[in-house]
Amino acid sequence: MPLDSRPPTDPASTLDARFRSAIHAVSQRDADPQIRPSTNPAFGDYQANAAMSLAKETKGNPRELAAALANAVDLAGIAEPPVIAGPGFLNIRLESSFIVAMLAAMDNASLGVGVTNETHAVVVDLCGVNVAKQMHVGHLRATIIGDTIARVFERVGRTVWRENHLGDWGLPIAMTLAALRRANVDLDQLTLNQLNSAYRTAQLEGRSDEAGLAAAYATGAGPHRIAELLAQQMSAGAAIVDAKSTLLRLQGGDAEVVAAWEKIITCTMREVYASTATLNAKVTAEHNRGESFFRDRLAPVVDGFIKAGLAKEDQGAIIVPFADRERPLLIRKSDGGFLYATTDLAALRFRTFDLNGSRVIYVVDARQRDHFKDVFDAAALIGWDRTKDGEKAEITHLGFGTVLGKDKRPLKTRSGENFTLKDLLDEAIERGISEVTRRAQDPNAPTHSLSATELARVGRAVGIAAIKYADLSNDLTKDYVFDLDRMVAFEGDTGPYLQYAHARIANMLAKAKDSASDIASANHAVAEPAERALALHLLRYPQMILDVTRTLETNRIGAYLRTLAELFNAFYQSCPVLKSEDDTLRRARLRLCGLTRDVLHDGLSLYGIEAPERM
């Protein structure tokens, strides 16, 4: 099915179809009925808001149009006759039997989520680590946002390519390699801390201060200062010469240098994979496609733009000019070197054509906005924004904001250092285990009988859920404040709160004396307002997923699950389940509880968050 179609188990789908027919019968127009969930259950379950826009188009009276639509629409077996409200809204109250039928249709392994027949792939650029550098907090966002987007598209049956665009090629890598070789470091015993230190050393060794030397001469600085700057200049020059020589050997396939290069990649990725596994993010070796993969495609990129008449020479460099902005896109330097933009163009061409991607999504820091706009626009100029069968691809930069500390500044450790991702994960897990262990000391807690090992497993899941939910449930484009004390709470808008809601339902179902088959064969019941509200929200789950495929707003998942947990709590407080004396009603409510548990589990899985059975 198309991704923009309405799921058949969503009541809005049926209402949409019936009102479209009524609109055509009344006005001979094909218009959106504007079916919306009601904001006040006292007035109904849904609203049809099309009368106002139709009246504007036809210059008619909106209430009269609403009345005509109410008379024309066939809602037999679906809803009570619509009621006109305000300037022309139609309030709709569904028949309970119709809600029950929709719940029954949804209550299976698919949870009402259909599978698309779209054959083009979705390509998600995520993680994006640089070799020889530790992962930082920005990599958290690029990894878990990208993984969630990938999971959502996989949930609706799309082929998804996760692309970890490694920074594993070029002069910075050669500088690090050269520095390691000069220091005689045993690469077989290399640690990431050593590698990271070598990277920083290489950057410092290769940094000259020509401006400082010129200023020292101009201001008549003492001979000691000038000698110091000259020594720095000579040292930097030697380091750059060594790095360029190493790069040439790497580019030429020198076996010794290539083997060393592979060892620093292995060292870097060892920690990357450990972190992604801890985060329960699907990023492994099979998803790596770094700059080195595209190195033989860079010259053809430049040649392609030149032959198409889209690039020109500017002071020895090759640029792609744009008609609507002053800045051009530089794709080859005057010394013949290539740039990030060249690699990104090669990668984009590969993703649309070779991977057949009709959706290409770059989950990269928002500060790269202008860069990606230029790359995407250049690709469109040359026609590289199309799949192999010619379909125009939708290419999106999903830029994300910065993680801030409580002081509203970029997150740092207590010692003032930038947080590495490992630091962050270790602290979250420690807090999660501490909180779970503390709660388990209560003799009445479901976790009281768990071993220390089992508590640690649950606590680990809680700590990771706290971080992931806090990030993914926010507006991705905005900065957000990282407050681990709040995030690990079992109450409020947190990941552990949703995990606890799932565990609470699982515990209730485990205590039920009714067999699983008796519960599964029970008919749903929605007689009470709290039951009805919970049921209607459950039925909106498939549409929420489709909305995320359209908007890429991962916070919609968190908002849906939070409301689901709140509605379940309201249902649990007002509708006895295990203590219900009527067997039929008890089993109906247990079945509704089971469906709620399944949707919570499935929704949390879209975030890559575990759903423990006991908490």
280-319 pLDDT tens trace: 999 999 999 999 999 999 999 999 999 999 999 999 999 9
Q: Residue 213 pLDDT > 50, yes or no?
A: no
Burial class (CB within 10 angstroms; exposed 0-12, middle 13-18, buried 19+) of 353: middle
- Model confidence band, residue 232 (pLDDT cutoffs 50, 70, 90): very low
For residues 600 and 456, state if they share a domain: yes
337-347 mean pLDDT: 95
Do 454 and 367 share a structural domain?
A: no
Residue 355 has pLDDT above 90, yes or no: yes
491, 545: one domain: yes
Mean pLDDT in residue range 200-204:
76
- 178 with 160, same domain: the answer is no
Q: In the prediction, which pLDDT does 216 show? A: 47
Taking the C-alpha atoms of residue 275 and residue 462, their distance in angstroms, rounded to an integer, is 16
Least confident of 137-146, 212-221, 394-403, 422-431: 212-221
Q: What average pLDDT does range 217-233 have in this prediction?
A: 51
pLDDT at 594 over 60: yes
Token pair 């799949």 in the structure block, residue: 387
Q: For the domain that residue 40 is a member of, what is the CATH number?
A: 3.30.1360.70
161 and 194 fall within a common domain = no
pLDDT at 236 over 60: no
Inside any domain, residue 190: yes
Burial class (CB in 10 A: 0-12, 13-18, 19+), 289: buried
Q: pLDDT confidence of 230, banded at 50, 70, 90?
A: very low
**Domain boundaries, position 602:** 421-606
* In the predicted structure, residue 146 carries a pLDDT above the cut 60: yes
Residue 197 in any domain: the answer is yes
Angle 452-472/421-440 helices, nearest 10 degrees? Answer: 130
pLDDT at 218: 60
The total of structural domains in the chain comes to 4
Q: Which of 398, 431, 462 marks a domain boundary?
A: 398
192 and 86 share a domain? Answer: no
The answer to whether residue 219 scores a pLDDT higher than 70 is no
Please, which pLDDT band fits residue 242 given cuts at 50, 70 and 90?
A: confident
- Which of 72-81, 396-405, 524-533 comes out lowest in average pLDDT? 396-405
* pLDDT, tens only, 566-587: 999 999 999 999 998 899 999 9
User: So what's the pLDDT on residue 223?
Assistant: 56
User: Please, which residues bridge with residue 46 across strands?
Assistant: 37, 92
Q: What is the pLDDT of residue 207?
A: 56
Q: Where are the beta strands (DSSP E) in 271-393?
A: 312-314, 317-322, 325-332, 357-362
pLDDT band at residue 124 using 50, 70 and 90 as cut-offs: very high
Residue 6 pLDDT: 79
Same domain, residue pair 233 and 184: yes
Helix (H) or strand (E) holding 435: helix 421-440
Share of the chain above pLDDT 70, in %: 93
Residue 139 and residue 268: Cα distance in Å, rounded? 14
What is the pLDDT at residue 171?
83
